[in-house]
């Protein structure tokens, strides 16, 4: 039956006086109506005193009997138009009276239909008044809110009563009215109005979508907190007021996001959408301190379906990796431009400093953080992708640095920029080791370009020094070790004068560079001994040379150690050669050679031949016998740092 208009409330001139006839029929009081009346007139009650639908009488009540006549339809209409919800029980009494009259017979079908239209028009007014109160429950007086809730509860009871009995054929079925369901519809409308309200103007730098997400999320959280704190104590349990509001807000929020996800989103909006769906909504709203317990059993679920989320995550990963790659490439380009434009590097704590490593790792860290803000799983996915991009960037860095080394030798700031880039490696190494939990082998492969960059930088920085040392080392052979102490002092003085320049390297790299110098001094000294230009035929001559070598070895070791070298593995290289030269017994020489080969596995027969050539009194048969000692496999693996493999012998 369609809802009657307010005009239907006017009495029909042709209809019998229904109210007068109804008054004649009522002679007894009805305890049921008295009880029902109290439901509407007691005002606000504490929640524990409110009636539960499950506790209310569900059997059809008898036709109400009153001492006096019911108000007229016009009087009830006027009362409802003035918002008097306490007359709701009288409207219900009219409905029951009509049902009783229909069941008793004696009234024409036309009159029954006419009377029913009047009752239904009153229900239209009553429903509007009740739902109007419940639409803005916090704006209503407590007693009025209590009355509205009681009306809905009573109507639900009447729906259940009506479903249990037959209805006269002339009357149209108007129940169940489902006012509780209509209230839920009102809550859904309120949720839509609140969430669709235009947010305040977006702050500078915040997109429209970001402002919309923030408005909807904040509104939902604040509104649900109000529902929990202020409405839940007032509403009967059967209303499930928290669940109803939560589901309505969730549904509208989800509908909005689903519609938004259908469009082609920019990178930022894709990220924000995922951030809200996967993190902020479930954690900051649903699991907030005031709502977590209340919403625990509601089961609202996700704002987007899993398939849509996976698609958006794939889009985010692709967008973010591309963005990181472009930003890193741009940072490297700007840095390399500074080198080629001869811009001096910054100085930090007395060391040449480059911001490149900081810029690169911040770019990667921001991408990683964004992914982890969505979910830890997305964070793990992007980690592997970013490692690939970082490895590619480091290879590009090495190539750009090598090109700079080759083409920019005449620039004024050439050497300090080299040191700045070597120092840059330290921040890369320490940051990657601390932040990225990857295997040792994977870490070594990732940072391999930096090791090459550092080595090439050292070679370039030391190139001029090593060129200056070359003629000084030649003096050993040219003078046949006549003045080895003076020659070595000249070498050490030359090295010492060049070291202050390297103070702008980080301490660890300055020590490593000193190890490189240490290795070079030992290597060049051995090269001079292997030139086969010195043949000593007496034991005294060989012992004197051995003493010179030992003295030079001590001087080299002392100088290099004092200046930061930790290459202790080089300490035996020259003294043991001196011992081979000093010894005269073939067996003793063999033992010393075998021991030497365990310390320096790259010591070959060619190197041994060159050393033994100094011993002019050693028969060739003994030379062959001693040389064969190196054929014995000692089981020693190749050393991590070569020495004799750097020395070519003829």
**Predicted local distance difference test score (pLDDT) of residue 596:** 95
The position carrying tokens 């419940």 is 134
Is the domain 480-646 a CATH 3.20.20.80 member?
no
Cα 606 to the chain's mean position, in Å? 60
Structural element, H or E, at residue 265: none
pLDDT at 637 over 60: no
In angstroms, rounded to a whole number, what is the distance separating the alpha carbons of residues 534 and 615?
9
Q: What is the 3-state secondary structure (H, E, C) of 390-450?
A: HHHHHHHHHHHHHHHHHHCCCCCCHHHHHHHHHHHHHHHHHHHHHHCCCCHHHHHHHHHHH
CATH architecture of the domain with residue range 319-456:
Orthogonal Bundle (1.10)
pLDDT at 343 over 50: yes
**Predicted local distance difference test score (pLDDT) of residue 532:** 85
Q: Are 634 and 597 spatial neighbours (Cβ–Cβ below 8 Å)?
A: yes
Q: What is the DSSP string of 539-552?
A: HHHHHHHHHHHHHH
**Angstrom distances, CA of residue 494 to CA of 389, 491, 554, 590:** 44, 5, 18, 37
pLDDT at 540 over 70: yes
pLDDT at 504 over 80: yes
- Whole-prediction pTM: 0.76
The position carrying tokens 């839920």 is 184
Angle between helices 142-162 and 31-41 (to 10 degrees): 140
pLDDT grade, residue 73 (50/70/90)?
Answer: confident
**And the tokens for 36?**
């029902």
H-type alpha helices, 136-178: 142-162
Segment among 54-58, 457-461, 502-506, 566-570 with least mean pLDDT = 54-58
pLDDT at 165 over 80: no
Segment among 166-170, 463-467, 495-499 with least mean pLDDT = 166-170
The position carrying tokens 């309120």 is 190
* In the chain, % of residues over pLDDT 70: 86
In angstroms, rounded to a whole number, what is the distance separating the alpha carbons of residues 294 and 607?
84
% helix, strand, coil for the chain, step of 5: 70, 0, 30
Closest CA to 408 of 464, 343, 340: 340
* Half-sphere exposure (Cβ direction) of 602: Cα atoms closer than 13 Å: 14
**Predicted local distance difference test score (pLDDT) of residue 104:** 81
**Segments making up each domain of the chain, as ranges:** 73-177, 210-304, 319-456, 480-646
In angstroms, rounded to a whole number, what is the distance separating the alpha carbons of residues 622 and 629?
11
Q: Which residues contact 624 (CB under 8 A, 6 or more apart)?
A: none
**Predicted local distance difference test score (pLDDT) of residue 330:** 97
Closest CA to 92 of 55, 66, 54: 66
Cα maximum dimension of the chain: 154
pLDDT at 650 over 80: no
Q: Are 317 and 270 spatial neighbours (Cβ–Cβ below 8 Å)?
A: no
Q: Which residues contact 375 (CB under 8 A, 6 or more apart)?
A: 278, 279
The number of helix segments (H) and strand segments (E) in the chain equals 23, 2
Measured in Å, how far apart are the chain's first and last C-alpha atoms?
115
Question: Is it true that 319-456 and 480-646 share their CATH fold?
Answer: yes
Q: Which residues contact 45 (CB under 8 A, 6 or more apart)?
A: 146
**Predicted local distance difference test score (pLDDT) of residue 35:** 30
**Predicted local distance difference test score (pLDDT) of residue 8:** 33
* In the chain, % of residues over pLDDT 90: 68
pLDDT at 187 over 80: yes
pLDDT at 152 over 70: yes
**Predicted local distance difference test score (pLDDT) of residue 112:** 85
In angstroms, rounded to a whole number, what is the distance separating the alpha carbons of residues 200 and 190?
19
Average pLDDT in the 67-78 region?
Answer: 80
The residue among 439 and 27 whose pLDDT is bigger is 439
Cα 644 to the chain's mean position, in Å? 51
In angstroms, rounded to a whole number, what is the distance separating the alpha carbons of residues 619 and 529?
20
Rg (CA), the chain: 48
pLDDT grade, residue 102 (50/70/90)?
Answer: confident
By residue count, the chain amounts to 650
In angstroms, rounded to a whole number, what is the distance separating the alpha carbons of residues 628 and 362?
58
pLDDT at 576 over 50: yes
pLDDT at 471 over 80: yes
Q: What is the pLDDT of residues 202-231, one digit of tens each?
A: 556 677 888 888 899 999 999 999 999 999
Q: What is the pLDDT of residues 430-445, one digit of tens each?
A: 999 888 888 888 989 9
Average pLDDT in the 139-160 region?
Answer: 93
In angstroms, rounded to a whole number, what is the distance separating the alpha carbons of residues 194 and 40?
31
């Amino acid at each position: 039956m369609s809802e009657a208009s307010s005009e239907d409330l006017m009495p029909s001139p042709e209809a019998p006086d229904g109210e007068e006839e109804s008054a004649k029929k009522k002679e007894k009081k009805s305890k049921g109506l008295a009880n029902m009346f109290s439901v509407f007139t007691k005002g606000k009650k504490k929640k524990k005193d409110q009636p539960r639908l499950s506790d209310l009488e569900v059997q059809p009540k008898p036709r109400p009997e009153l001492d006096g006549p019911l108000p007229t339809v016009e009087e009830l209409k006027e009362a409802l138009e003035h918002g008097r919800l306490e007359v709701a029980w009288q409207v219900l009494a009219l409905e029951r009276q009509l049902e009783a009259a229909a069941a008793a017979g004696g009234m024409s079908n036309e009159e029954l239909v006419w009377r029913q239209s009047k009752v239904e028009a009153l229900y239209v007014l009553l429903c509007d008044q009740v739902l109007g109160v419940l639409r803005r429950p916090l704006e209503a007086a407590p007693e009025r809110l209590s009355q509205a809730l009681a009306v809905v509860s009573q109507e639900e009871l009447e729906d259940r009563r009506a479903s249990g009995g037959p209805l006269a054929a002339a009357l149209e079925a108007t129940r169940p009215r489902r006012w509780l369901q209509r209230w839920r519809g009102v809550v859904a409308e309120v949720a839509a109005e609140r969430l669709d309200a235009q947010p305040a103007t977006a702050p500078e730098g915040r997109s429209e979508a970001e402002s919309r997400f923030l408005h909807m999320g904040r509104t939902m959280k604040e509104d649900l907190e109000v529902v929990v704190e202020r409405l839940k104590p007032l509403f009967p349990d059967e209303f499930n007021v928290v669940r109803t509001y939560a589901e309505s807000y969730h549904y509208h929020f989800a509908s909005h996001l689903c519609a938004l996800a259908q469009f082609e989103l920019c990178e930022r909006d894709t990220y924000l959408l995922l951030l809200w769906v996967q993190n902020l909504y479930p954690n900051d709203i649903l699991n907030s301190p005031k709502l977590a317990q209340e919403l625990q059993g509601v089961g609202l679920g996700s704002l987007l379906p899993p398939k849509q989320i996976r698609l958006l995550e794939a889009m985010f990963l692709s967008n973010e990796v591309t963005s990181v790659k472009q930003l890193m490439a741009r940072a490297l380009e700007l840095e390399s431009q500074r080198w080629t434009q001869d811009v001096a590097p910054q100085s930090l704590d007395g060391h040449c400093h480059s911001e490149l490593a900081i810029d690169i790792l911040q770019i990667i860290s921001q991408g990683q953080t964004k992914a982890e803000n969505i979910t830890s799983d997305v964070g793990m996915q992007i980690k592997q992708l970013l490692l690939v991009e970082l490895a590619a960037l480091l290879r590009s860095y090495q190539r750009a640095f090598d090109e700079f080394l080759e083409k920019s030798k005449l620039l004024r700031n050439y050497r300090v920029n080299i040191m700045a880039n070597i120092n840059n490696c330290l921040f890369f190494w320490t940051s990657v080791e601390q932040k990225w939990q990857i295997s040792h082998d994977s870490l070594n492969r990732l940072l391999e370009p930096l090791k090459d960059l550092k080595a090439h930088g050292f070679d370039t920085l030391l190139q001029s020094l090593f060129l200056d040392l070359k003629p000084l080392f030649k003096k050993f052979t040219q003078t046949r070790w006549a003045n080895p102490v003076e020659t070595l002092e000249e070498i050490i003085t030359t090295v010492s004068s060049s070291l202050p320049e390297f103070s702008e390297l980080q301490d660890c790299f300055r020590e490593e560079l000193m190890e490189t110098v240490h290795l070079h001094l030992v290597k060049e000294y051995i090269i001079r001994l292997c030139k086969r230009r010195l043949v000593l035929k007496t034991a005294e001559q060989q012992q004197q040379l051995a003493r010179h070598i030992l003295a030079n070895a001590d001087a080299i070791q002392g100088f290099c150690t004092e200046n930061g070298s930790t290459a202790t593995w080089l300490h035996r290289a020259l003294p043991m050669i001196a011992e081979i030269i000093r010894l005269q017994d073939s067996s003793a020489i063999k033992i010393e050679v075998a021991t030497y080969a365990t310390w320096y596995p790259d010591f070959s027969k060619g190197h041994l031949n060159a050393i033994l050539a100094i011993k002019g009194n050693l028969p060739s048969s003994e030379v062959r016998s001693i040389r064969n000692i190196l054929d014995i496999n000692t089981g020693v693996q190749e050393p991590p740092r070569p020495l004799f493999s750097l020395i070519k012998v003829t």
